[in-house]
Amino acid sequence: MRVVVLGTAAGGGLPQWNCACDLCERSRSGDPAVPPRLQDCLAISATGRNWYLLNASPDLRAQINATPELAPGPGRRETPIRGALLTDAELDHTLGLTLLREGRLTVWAPRPVLDAAAVRDLLAHYNHWTWYPAEDTFRLDDGHLECAVFPLSGKRPRYAQSASPAPDWVVAYRITDVHTGGSLLYAPCLASWPPGFTEFVTGATCALLDGTFLSADEMASTTGQPDQQVMGHLPITASLPLLPIGVTAWHYTHLNNTNPAAAQDSTARATIEATGTTIATDHTRFDL
């Protein structure tokens, strides 16, 4: 399985358009220790011919143009992108689908997300898309990739607060190449470490995990915003001690612009990397 990391930032990216914090200013000024980050999104393929997105960020057009594997062709309107898997209904993870409105794609998402996704009705005016519930296990890329789903939390996006509660508004995916046995764990939004999640992640070859915030008071100390666990993100300081030791290569992604670990020269980055865990960067590629 081939994995291309298209973006590693939380909503707004780095630098964020309306933010003049230290990290945003360093990134905006070209500081090499704080490289820009596009909003979190992955592309995966078993064969290199058919590609599937994991989430669809608002930066998707730029991400596709920067990724040779996703370039159109050989026909004038052909694309190797076949579909997308959504972890939740947040706008940061779904708006990119509107940029693909001329296509005819297949989307997998938890049932509450299928019912609430703001972009679904909009896309129906442009082309016929197929929408499937992401439940249990299913296969893609002509059966070469097996996808398992784990419900993480019932956190609904702001625009869907009137929708019915459900335990799978946010999910994680574990995707396995049935031929190589390599597996990818993707959980960019982790509100807690729920029962059974250790078993779900153990043995994965590579894991991209929620690294939105470093600490539980990060937003309060920098912007005056509420505790980020209320926002649906377990801080790195809480998840790092829980990572199962074994064959998994752990990478934190979905970094907020306030996260000190976004800076390569930070103490936070050094402390995390000393454990053998890394901070993912845009354009990273994995072969699993």
pLDDT in tens, 154-173: 999 999 998 899 999 999 99
Give the pLDDT mean for 216-225. 66
- Strand order across the beta sheet in which 137-140 lies: 137-140, 145-153, 170-177, 183-187, 206-210, 249-253, 278-279
Q: State mean pLDDT over 85-97.
A: 96
Predicted confidence at residue 221, as pLDDT, reads 58
Residue 77 burial (10 A CB sphere; 0-12, 13-18, 19+): exposed
Per-residue pLDDT, 227: 57
Q: How far apart are CA 154 and CA 225, in angstroms?
A: 21
Q: Which of 282, 284, 253, 286 is nearest to 35 (CA)?
A: 282
For residue 270, name the pLDDT band (cuts at 50, 70, 90): very high
The residues, ordered by sequence, that sit 6+ positions from 254 with a Cβ below 8 Å of its Cβ are 8, 9, 10, 40, 188, 189, 210, 211, 212, 233
Look at residue 287 and tell me whether its pLDDT is greater than 80: yes
Instruction: Report residue 28 as tokens.
Output: 């905006």
* Residue-level pLDDT at 112: 95
Q: Give the per-residue pLDDT at 223.
A: 53
Sheet of 51-54, strands arranged across: 130-133, 106-109, 81-85, 51-54, 41-45, 2-7, 285-287
Q: What is the per-residue pLDDT across 111-124, written as a single tens digit (0 to 9) for each?
A: 999 988 778 888 98
Give the gyration radius of the chain's Cα atoms.
Answer: 18
Residue spans of the domains in the chain: they are: 2-281
Question: Is the pLDDT score of 272 beyond 60?
Answer: yes
In the predicted structure, residue 246 carries a pLDDT above the cut 70: yes
Tokens 């820009």 belong to residue: 36
Decide if pLDDT at 228 tops 70: no
Average pLDDT on 243-250 reads: 90
Residue of 35, 18, 107 lying closest to 265 (CA atoms)? 35
Residue 153, Cβ neighbours under 10 Å: how many? Answer: 19
pLDDT at 229 (0 to 100):
55
Residue 57: other Cβ atoms inside 10 A: 27
pLDDT in tens, 17-75: 999 999 999 999 999 999 999 999 999 999 999 999 999 999 999 999 999 999 999 99
d(C-alpha 168, C-alpha 272), whole Å:
29
Cβ atoms 205, 250 nearer than 8 A: no
pLDDT confidence tier of residue 259, bands split at 50, 70 and 90: very high
The pLDDT assigned to 199 comes to: 96
CATH of domain 2-281: 3.60.15.10
Among the residues of the chain, which ranges form H helices?
22-28, 60-65, 91-94, 111-116, 118-123, 197-201, 218-222, 236-239, 267-273
Computed over every residue of the chain, the mean pLDDT equals 94
